Amino acid sequence: MTARQLLPLIHMGLTDIRRHKLRSFLTMLGMVFGVGSVVAMLAVGEGASQQALDAIRKLGSQNIILSSVKPPEGGAEGIQRSSRMNTYGLLYDDEKRILETIPGVVRTVPARFMRKQGMLGALSMELRVVGTTAAWFEVVARPVVAGRLLTPRDEVSRATVCVLTENGARKLLAGQHTIGQTLRLGSTFFEVVGIVRNAESTGGMQTPDRETDVYIPMKTGIERYGEVDMQRSASSRSMEKVELSQIIVEMRDTDAVEPGMLAIEAMLRYFHKKDDFRIDVPLALLREAEATKRRFNVVLGSIAAISLLVGGIGIMNIMLASVTERTQEIGIRRAIGARRSHIVLQFLVETCVLSIGGGLIGLVLGSIIPLLITLLADMPTAIRPYSLVLAFTISAGIGIVFGLYPARRAARLDPVEALRRD
């Protein structure tokens, strides 16, 4: 069929749609809401997944995070006991052994968590203090809100400087003006040199600074507060001794992460009699989160596609009614020489206009809804080009498939019988 023959058929189809504006509009609504829901739901799912993936990536895909964990109460043999002290968790020797024996290790970053009474101006409250090195901010990147980070020079000189996190700044009602002021931690005074942003917990794993309030140089903490942090146990009157609360191990590349994790775990199991440590691997969580994201998008897309299916059924229902309504018109056209293919094309033009037009409006609606969700509910959303293409392609395909049956039914009408019907 030539373009000259096709244009009149397209014109006839558009004319019939304009003749029944309300019916055509109501028929299109199924496609509008179907496409809009597909785009919006995928955008919401993509935004939530991307937020989780970004948070995991910030932990470093080449890092292995070791944390001290108090063994179960029944594990008395796993805890070194003195008369009133329980010793457990990661050791300084563990860090040395990892550096010296585990292949692929680039560096290790130790950290000690302490609870100290903090005082800034007239405000006083308990803060969680982390003694660590300047390398911590290199292996676990955190945006600087104000001031600067800890430096190797602070570590070497055992400087009494500290970096607040947003969490600690909020507790102390501190802001950018706090840079240069003095913060008292226990009996030691520190100069506030910077403020950094915290990160939320992700994928069931707490980020290293989820509850952190203050960072201080590791050697300064050891010099001012001793080699270990003494904490009174909540369940007994004994004291708890933990040398290192955390060790972040940076591997050479992602290929070395899983073998390195297995080697570190085997080494720690050999030297630790009970489960007084935990190993978190951001790379494994990242892969799991990406797989979950794919499954989540498939589920959301499938649920939203049901709306498109309903919209397609609505188009087919209206077109079947249109065939019945226009039986005599079809009979006249067949009697004066119109072929069956002409009748099929005429009705397909109408269904395609309804489905494609509804799809285009649905794309606009589906792009607006995520913006409103982000604006009003403060939820992250992300519209991906593939979701727009997928939704529009499905809407056009459904329009053709569900319009084909009414079109072929109209084309198969006998001209004589069609002319005799009222």
Residue 238 lies in a domain: yes
Is 283 a domain residue?
no
Q: Please indicate, yes or no, if residue 61 is contained in any of the structural domains.
A: no
Same-domain status, 168 and 300: no
Q: Which two tokens stand for residue 215?
A: 């960072």
Of 246, 275, 304, which marks where a domain is finished? 275
Average pLDDT of 141-147?
Answer: 87
Instruction: Write down which residue in 230, 246, 275 finishes a domain.
Output: 275
Please state, in angstroms and rounded to a whole number, the distance separating the CA atoms of residues 210 and 198. Answer: 6
Query: Residue 412 carries which DSSP code?
Result: T
119 and 200 share a domain?
A: yes
Domain membership of residue 253 (yes or no) is: yes
- Asked if residue 228 and residue 82 are part of one domain, the reply reads yes
| Beta strands at 105-120 and 123-132: parallel, antiparallel or unpaired | antiparallel
Residue 64 belongs to a domain: no
* β-bridge partners, 31: none
Question: pLDDT for 190-208, tens place per residue?
Answer: 999 999 987 654 444 445 5
Residue entry with tokens 């009157």? 237
* Together in a domain, 160 and 265: yes
Q: Say if 322 falls within a structural domain.
A: yes
Count up the domains in the chain and report the number: 2
Three-point CA angle 368, 370, 372, nearest 5°: 70
Pair 29, 140 in one domain: no
Q: What are phi and psi of 273, to 5 degrees?
A: -75, -25
Cα–Cα nearest to 25, from 229, 318, 294: 318
Q: Which pLDDT band holds residue 240 (cuts at 50, 70, 90)?
A: confident
Q: Kindly state whether residues 85 and 183 are assigned to the same domain.
A: yes
Sequence-distant (≥ 6) Cβ neighbours of residue 189 within 8 angstroms: 160, 182, 183
Q: What does pTM read for this prediction? A: 0.61
Q: Are residues 193 and 270 in the same domain?
A: yes
Same domain as 136, residue 104: yes
Q: Are residues 115 and 242 in the same domain?
A: yes
For position 50, what pLDDT does the model report?
76
CB 110 within 8 A of CB 218: yes
Decide which of 208, 240, 275 is a domain's last residue.
275
HEC profile of 168-218 = HHHHCCCCHHHCCCEEEECCEEEEEEEEECCCCCECCECCCCCCCCEEEEH
Residues 262 and 148 in one domain: yes
**pLDDT tens digit sequence for 285-341:** 777 777 777 777 777 767 767 777 777 787 788 777 777 777 777 777 777 777 777
pLDDT (tens digit per residue) in 343-355: 777 777 778 888 8
Same domain membership, residue 127 and residue 96: yes
Beta bridge partners of 248: 65, 109
44-91 pLDDT tens trace = 878 877 776 676 666 677 889 999 998 876 544 445 554 466 788 999
What is the extent of the structural domain holding 375? 3-56+288-420
Task: Kindly state whether residues 262 and 293 are assigned to the same domain.
Answer: no
Q: How far does CA 162 lie from the centroid of its chain?
A: 32
Retrieve residue 80's tokens: 């070194």
65 belongs to a structural domain: no
Q: Give dist(CA 96, CA 91) in Å, integer.
A: 9
Q: Is residue 281 part of a domain?
A: no
pLDDT exceeds cutoff 60 at 4: yes
> pLDDT for 273-283, tens place per residue?
888 999 988 87
Output the CA angle 371-373-379, nearest 5 degrees: 105
Those residues with Cβ within 8 angstroms of residue 161's Cβ, 6 or more apart along the chain or in another chain: 150, 154, 190, 191, 192, 193, 216, 217, 220
